[in-house]
Amino acid sequence: MKSIAFSSGWLSLSLIILLTSVSAIPHNIPRLSVFDRTSLRDLSDTIPAFVWDDLETYFYNQTLDHFNYNPQSYAIFKQRYVINSKYWGGANKSAPIFVYLGAEAPIDGDIQFTGFLPENAPNFKALIVYIEHRFYGQSVPFGPVKKNQGYFSSAQAIADYAEVILYLKEKLSAHYSPVIVIGGSYGGMLASWFRLKYPHIALGALASSAPILYFDDIIPQNGYYSIVSKDFKEASESCYETIKQSWSVIDEVASQPNGLSTLSQRFNTCYPLSDSFELKDYLDGLYSRAAQYDRPPRYPVTVVCGGIDGAPNGTDILSRIFAGVVAATVNRSCYVNGHHNYSRDPYGDWDWQVSDNEVGDGGGSGPVMAAEFAVMVVMELDGSGNGTWL
Ligand SMILES: *[C@@H]1O[C@H](CO)[C@@H](O)[C@H](O)[C@H]1NC(C)=O
Ligand SMILES: *[C@@H]1O[C@H](CO)[C@@H](O)[C@H](O)[C@H]1NC(C)=O
Ligand SMILES: *[C@@H]1O[C@H](CO)[C@@H](O)[C@H](O)[C@H]1NC(C)=O
Ligand SMILES: *[C@@H]1O[C@H](CO)[C@@H](O)[C@H](O)[C@H]1NC(C)=O
Ligand SMILES: *[C@@H]1O[C@H](CO)[C@@H](O)[C@H](O)[C@H]1NC(C)=O
Ligand SMILES: *[C@@H]1O[C@H](CO)[C@@H](O)[C@H](O)[C@H]1NC(C)=O
């Protein structure tokens, strides 16, 4: 699987508030280039109806290329932004503007999940602005994405945000309204970068669950997976052990004659497995997502382990793993492949962004988007924090 997007989980995780304390942020900021991520969301969450009230959608004529002076740089594309002015105290009161920086998905989902903004806006009498990230949703530059992929970078994206914010402040005569940029996950990285790069535009940034330090030489190489492993171990030692042992069992079965069809049967796959990696990749994604979004009320790690541990005594490892899969997924007639076509993201291409070193290092040595994205660097869950690269 290739696509894990964050969802509202980030709100419950740590908040890093970068108000005026820019000096506290290491200036070891990664180089910026192109990137994107997937739009798969945890849509099982209830979406509060109120968020759709009072929203107005606009399109800004955005500059394709903020950093060059070629004729094509001045091409424009429509960038979507959405405003909620219900709570705003107005320009005359210098009431603040909360700007939600879209990340690697259409902005609609973010609006649904970021209750944080409408919840806090009344206290601050804030205007809320959500801006969609270029190359996602309805903010895709003309022509085939590939053709313009060179413009698909976080540096361009935050320059987009700067333009839209300045335009809105002008349009609303809100010259004295302080701007706070807000983002989660990759969007949180953008928020912190924005505050660093455009301190004259944003008075502060709120970066929620943003892996701003998840880069080479800062965190242990296998940081993400050691946390996933730890989560499972804490939930259930036996579950963790079963998962740990399962990788070699899968390999062993796969190496036997008709091994893949055995695995396909055991896991009730929708289509015959093309290789054992397909299964391991799926499981890896399942566990990683469970850990990443291990929040109430469902606590997916507990759910997966409930399936694995809950199988009757004497159940073999593969069946236990399958029981975990079944427990974690809603009713399905088949599993593993076929239900989500992870190979395609209709909106953008997070994998490409990540592998292009914008946000992470697809090679695995470096800035893997820890909190975001587990699977572009696939490794086995070995529990020691010393995973095996596949
Ligand atoms: C955006 O550009 C189009 C075409 O160039 C133009 O018709 C439209 O008025 C512009 N919109 C704004 C808000 O400036
Ligand atoms: C804001 O102040 C200006 C200048 O004093 C005034 O003309 C305008 O009506 C005020 N706007 C609002 C919404 O109060
Ligand atoms: C498995 O056996 C152990 C020890 O006999 C017992 O404590 C446990 O409840 C059994 N588990 C299940 C799922 O039957
Ligand atoms: C799943 O299937 C079972 C049996 O067919 C049914 O009782 C249950 O309501 C289904 N659950 C969901 C969430 O659809
Ligand atoms: C998934 O998308 C790819 C690329 O378009 C396509 O070739 C493949 O058939 C799709 N798979 C399914 C199960 O829809
Ligand atoms: C981690 O892997 C390396 C290389 O395979 C090995 O030398 C080392 O002993 C491992 N460490 C742990 C804690 O398993």
Say what the pLDDT of residue 85 is: 96
Query: Is 312's C-beta closer than 6 angstroms to any atom of ligand 3?
Result: yes
Of 355, 375, 368, which Cα lies nearest the Cα of 40?
Answer: 375
Query: Is 90's C-beta closer than 6 angstroms to any atom of ligand 2?
Result: yes
Residue 35 CB partners (closer than 8 Å, separation 6+): 104, 152, 153, 154, 186, 350, 352, 353, 354, 356, 358, 359
Say whether 21 sits in a helix, a strand or coil: coil
State the fold for domain 223-389: Four Helix Bundle (Hemerythrin (Met), subunit A) (1.20.120)
pLDDT tens digits along 199-225: 999 999 999 888 887 776 777 777 888
**Domains 37-208 and 223-389 belong to one CATH topology:** no
Say what the pLDDT of residue 267 is: 96
pLDDT tens digits along 96-106: 999 999 998 88
Say what the pLDDT of residue 350 is: 56
Cα 323 to ligand 4 centre (Å): 16
Share of the chain above pLDDT 70, in %: 72
Rounded distance between C-alpha atoms, residue 195 and residue 190, angstroms: 9
Q: Indicate the domain borders of the chain.
A: 37-208, 223-389
Query: Is 57's C-beta closer than 6 angstroms to any atom of ligand 2?
Result: no
Residue 343 CB partners (closer than 8 Å, separation 6+): 2
Count of other CB atoms within 10 angstroms of residue 16: 19
Of 169, 90, 176, which Cα lies nearest the Cα of 125?
Answer: 90
Say whether 55 sits in a helix, a strand or coil: strand
Say what the pLDDT of residue 110 is: 87
Ligand nearest to the CA of 312: 3
Cα 320 to ligand 3 centre (Å): 14
Q: Is residue 310 over pLDDT 70? A: yes
The C-alpha R_g of the chain, in whole angstroms, comes to: 22
Cα 139 to ligand 4 centre (Å): 38
pLDDT tens digits along 335-367: 998 755 444 444 445 555 554 444 433 322 222
Ligand nearest to the CA of 332: 4
Say what the pLDDT of residue 33 is: 21
Say what the pLDDT of residue 143 is: 64
Protein residue with its CA nearest to atom 4 in ligand 3: 313
Residue 99 CB partners (closer than 8 Å, separation 6+): 129, 130, 131, 161, 165, 179, 180, 181, 182, 202
pTM value > 0.75 = no
Say what the pLDDT of residue 294 is: 86
Ligand nearest to the CA of 380: 6
pLDDT tens digits along 42-56: 333 444 555 567 899
Is there a contact between 84 and 55 (Cβ–Cβ < 8 Å)? yes
Rounded distance between C-alpha atoms, residue 348 and residue 329, angstroms: 25
Level-2 CATH architecture, domain 37-208:
3-Layer(aba) Sandwich (3.40)
